[in-house]
Structure formats: structure tokens, C-alpha cells
Amino acid sequence: MSTLQTLRGSIAALIQLTGGSKAELAAGIGLSPEAVSRRQNGHTAWSLDETDAVAAHYHITALSLLSGPTAAVEAVPAHRRDLRHKTAPRPATASAPPDAPAEKAEKAEALAVQRPPAPEPMRPCVLCGGPASDVVEGFPQHLDPGDCTPPQSSPPAPAAAHPVPGEAGERPYSVPAATASRADATAFAGIPSQTSPAPAPAPAPAPAPAPGTVQPQRPVAAARPAIGADRRPRTSSTDQLPVDEIHQLVVDEATKAGGDLEAATAALIKRAIPDAMALWGLTRVGSTYDVLFRPPRPDILKKRTRNGADDIWEARPKWRNAALLSDSTGPVREVTALDVNGAFLAALKTHLPHKVLAHDTSGTYDRRRSGVYLITPPHWPHEQLPNPLGDRDLVGELWITDATLRLLLRVSGPKFQLCEPPVVHESWTAAASENLLEKFRQTLAAARHEAITGGDQMTVEYVKAMYSKFVSTCGESSHNRDIERPEWMHIIHSQAFANLWWKAHRAYAAGLSVVKMTGTDELHVTGGDWRAVFPEGRGLSEVKEKHTYTIGGSGSMGEG
């Protein structure tokens, strides 16, 4: 089931749960009833802004809405349901006396443990109200939107009671249906959206709840003033990104941990993989690309052994400037080890295939496609610059990623002319886009920036865990069964190495000497002021100094 189908099913279930209608939902989110019907019938797609508005209307998070009908209805907070039930007329006998408070509590407790009765042969469709025999995630509906009939007006029926989420948000949430697995996800409860104020839990709302008062909204931990206290205003470039979902989750974990920041951080890191997949699903609402999460793959992308590797060379660098490091007679040089910030986060902006890889033996290269390529690498004649292919001892043909091939084609092109172009022999590629992970990347980058600005190290660690674990498990991992695209993992890794290579080239072009380049984020330079070449800081376009050491001469302190 696609993300949009899951979204439509969740909205239909919420309408049925609250005893409302499409017209009422339309009025609540600023659309016409016809527009809501078109979106629910599949003629028009729900946009990301509209999804946020629907979630705010029902006082749940957008991620809960995208997790499927079951998770959506369970996330509706108790006070939201109570308000709905008060406004919906309940059928009752004329002679029935009013329930006493104790009787009401007993009935509510009995209803909370009940399950819906066995389905009848034909039940009302949650989309249109007409008879339907198909059931999707426990809700009857027509599988073909064309079978739906206009809803008939009828008195709203009382909604079946569901277990109420705990105040601390202990109900497990689910990863969107498009990513299939729900086993490892944890708490997303009914949190009122920040774009829509939550109804007051008492008849006379107070400006602020008294200490110790139990409120339907989840409280912010007093021990964590950095979260949400001084959040900077959202700029036009990030106001459409679900950054607040990340902030709210951090607040929730800090609240559950009772102010123990280490425990809360550990809990956030533990749930980083399912949260990253859910966040990616949220940022893909309205996307024009249908991604295959577990397509068939060629043998070159299959591991030879359980703990072994496949045939793809990622061009990981481990380069040392042998001439400089072995020069013991030259002057003493101070070397600065620079650390590149968020290497894998920046590398999410890369060309990724979104369909099944197709085999081609023509030796041609199409920039509109991405995948892996069998090439004969060119000779690299530059001793003062690392080879773009990384630390490879073997010679001959090798399989490389699209990111590495683009790097080789660029440095061999007319602008740089650093080597001969590689020779492509065959490839496994598919139609590609550079934007498959772009909103996901922008959301994480915006949350990271806000956390660094506000001194919120917990969110910084949580964001880092999300993007790094997403990259490491999107290939083939027992920790993430929702996606299996090993070529994505290889391409993102190679893009991080390519980005580091361009920083080395930038330093070299500015007159600095490159001493070492290793891993995804470490660059050692000497021979000038590196701050005149790279901005210093913790931003994604900045670098920071790790340490310094000296080489050359009798006073050398050795490599760092």
C-alpha cells in the first residue's frame, strides 16, 4: 500500500471514529467538501501542508496519521474524543436514567477492552458510507474509488471506544505502511499540533497549568529548558519541513526520563532507525516518485558471505602525502587536522535510482540514470592530490557507484583535465533523482542547526543517529527490514567520499598542501591559513579543527 493510500485510510478511519463527516473535516482544514472528496477518492493527492492540517484537526501528529488507520485512531487523545462525543447525539431509550459517575467509569472500562464485533457480510465503507465487503486494516472500504457512492446524511453514531494512550506516550507508533515493518517503532501518542491549539481540558482554560495538574497535553520537562524554550522563528526555507515532529519527540523522551538527559539520549538513539524511516515517509507525502523498497538486485550487489561484501568499490580514501611525510630534511611544518561536519547528512543529496536496476552492456552513460558501473579506471598522475578512486591496490576493471563515476567524469572534463575519462563497459542502472532524500535531508539539517544554535546536544545526537543509521541500514541490515537498496548505501557512501575529495582539491587549488585524507570527514592540510579557504564552525558547509601536529625537520612530533 502506498503512503497516499495509507493516508486516505487513516483519514477515513478518523472520520468514522469521531462520528464526523467530510464536510466537517473540510471546514476544519480550510478546504471545500468537494476538495476533500477528491483527495479521499484518489483523484487528487493530499499535500504535506494539508496532511499537517488534518493531523492538527484531530490533535495527533502527522507521523501517526501516516502510520495507518489503526495507529491514527489510537493516537487520538482522550480529551479530543470526549469533546467529540459530547457534541454527537447518542441514541438512548427514553426511560433510561442518567448514568452515575461510577457506572460511567465501569462502562468506559468495559468498552476499552472490547474489540469490534465480527464483520458482517456488508458493512458501511469508511470512505463513502455505502455497503462494502473489503476490509483494510480493520476498516471496511471500497478498494476501487469508483465503487464509492456519495455519503448519505444520517445521525452520527457513537464511536467505539479504544484504549486511551498513557500520559507519558507509552503506546507504540507504527512506521508508514509504505515501509512495511512496525516491530521496532516506539512512542508517538496524541500530541496536539503546534499549528492548532488544543482544546482546554477544563471548562475554564487557564493561561498555564498549575504544577502537578494532569493535562491532556504532554508536559515539557522542566529539566530541559533548551527544548522548545528558545526555538528561533521558522524561516521561509524551513517552514514546510516537519522539524517540530523531531523537537516534540525529544521533549517526550526527556519527559519520560524525568530529566535524565543521558537516559533520554540513549532512548532516542535506540529508536533512531524506525523514527528515520517514519520521518522519511512523512517528507515523501505528495512526492512524484514511487520508490521500490526491496526490488530484485543483480549478483554484484549480493554479499558473497553472510558477513562479507559485494562487488562494489565505494572509493573510500586512505591517502597520505608520502613526499611530505617522508621529508625529514625540509622545514618543520604545522599540520592542522580538519573535521568535516555531517558528512553523511550532506551526502544524502545525491542521485539515487528509484526503480528496478536494468542491465546495459552498451558502455554509454546517461546522467538521468543512476546505479553501478563496471569501468576501467584512468591513470592518476598527481602525487600531491589523492586519487578519486580511493586507496585501491588492485589494477584492472572494477564496479563503482554513480557518485564516483560523476566525480571521475568531472575531473577528467575540460574544466579540470586532471586525468583521462574512465571507460564504461557495462552498468546496472535505473531512472534517478537527486531529490529522493532531499526533504528528509533538509528536515534533519534544519533540526540540527536549531539544536546547535540552542545548545541542545540531545537533539544533535538524535539527528546524527537518524541519518547515520539510515545510511548504514538502507542496504541490507537485520536492524532495518523496511528497505533493501544496497546500491543506495554504496552511492551515499561514495558521495560522502567525493565531497571530501572536492574539499581536498579546494585546499590544493588555494595553495595549501594536502597531507592526509582519510575516512569520510578527515582532511589534514599545511602551508597556509586554512581559515581563508574553509569557514570554521559546526554548520554543514563548515569545518572544525580537531588538532595540530608538526612534520619535517628534527622537531617533528609525528603524524596526528
pLDDT exceeds cutoff 70 at 285: yes
Q: What pLDDT does residue 190 have?
A: 29
Are 251 and 228 in contact, with CB atoms under 8 Å apart? yes
pLDDT exceeds cutoff 90 at 447: yes
Q: What pLDDT does residue 527 have?
A: 94
Q: What pLDDT does residue 176 have?
A: 34
Closest-CA residue to 246 (of 19, 388, 444, 4): 444
pLDDT exceeds cutoff 70 at 191: no
What pLDDT digit, counting tens, does each position of 135-147 carry? 544 555 655 545 5
28: pLDDT confidence band, cut at 50, 70 and 90? confident
Q: What pLDDT does residue 525 have?
A: 98
Strands 513-518 and 139-140: unpaired
Q: What pLDDT does residue 231 have?
A: 39
pTM: 0.63
Q: What pLDDT does residue 17 have?
A: 81
66: pLDDT confidence band, cut at 50, 70 and 90? confident
Highest mean pLDDT among 51-55, 287-291, 380-384: 380-384
Q: What is the mean pLDDT of residues 334-346?
A: 97
Highest mean pLDDT among 42-46, 107-111, 283-287, 399-403: 399-403
pLDDT exceeds cutoff 80 at 425: yes
Grid cell of 246 as nine digits? 523531531
Q: What pLDDT does residue 465 have?
A: 97
Place of cell 622537531: 555
80: pLDDT confidence band, cut at 50, 70 and 90? low
160: pLDDT confidence band, cut at 50, 70 and 90? very low
Q: What pLDDT does residue 73 have?
A: 83
Q: What is the mean pLDDT of residues 188-214?
A: 39
**Separation of alpha carbons 298 and 360, rounded Å:** 12
Q: What pLDDT does residue 134 have?
A: 59
Q: Where are the alpha helices (DSSP H) in 67-179?
A: 69-75, 78-87, 101-112
**Separation of alpha carbons 127 and 12, rounded Å:** 5
Q: Which amino acid is at 360?
A: D
Structure-model confidence comparison of residues 163 and 319, the more confident one: 319
pLDDT exceeds cutoff 50 at 83: no
CB atoms within 10 A of CB 145: 16
pLDDT exceeds cutoff 50 at 269: yes
pLDDT exceeds cutoff 60 at 92: no
Structure-model confidence comparison of residues 515 and 476, the more confident one: 515
Are 231 and 454 in contact, with CB atoms under 8 Å apart? yes
Provide φ and ψ at 8, rounded to 5°. -65, -40
pLDDT exceeds cutoff 50 at 427: yes
What pLDDT digit, counting tens, does each position of 226-239 carry? 333 333 444 444 55
What pLDDT digit, counting tens, does each position of 536-554 carry? 999 999 999 999 999 987 6
Q: What pLDDT does residue 380 have?
A: 95
Q: What three-state secondary structure class fits 107?
A: helix
Percent of the chain clearing pLDDT 90 (strictly above): 49
Q: What is the mean pLDDT of residues 433-452?
A: 96
Average pLDDT of the chain is 78
As beta bridge partners, residue 336 has: 525, 548
pLDDT exceeds cutoff 80 at 90: no
Q: What is the mean pLDDT of residues 101-122?
A: 47
**Separation of alpha carbons 488 and 443, rounded Å:** 19
What pLDDT digit, counting tens, does each position of 348-360 carry? 999 999 999 999 9
- Distance spanning both ends of the chain, measured CA to CA: 52
Q: What pLDDT does residue 133 have?
A: 61
Percent of the chain clearing pLDDT 70 (strictly above): 70
**Separation of alpha carbons 263 and 197, rounded Å:** 30
Grid cell of 27 as nine digits? 471546514
Q: What pLDDT does residue 420 have?
A: 97
Q: What pLDDT does residue 310 have?
A: 94
Closest-CA residue to 18 (of 80, 90, 91): 80
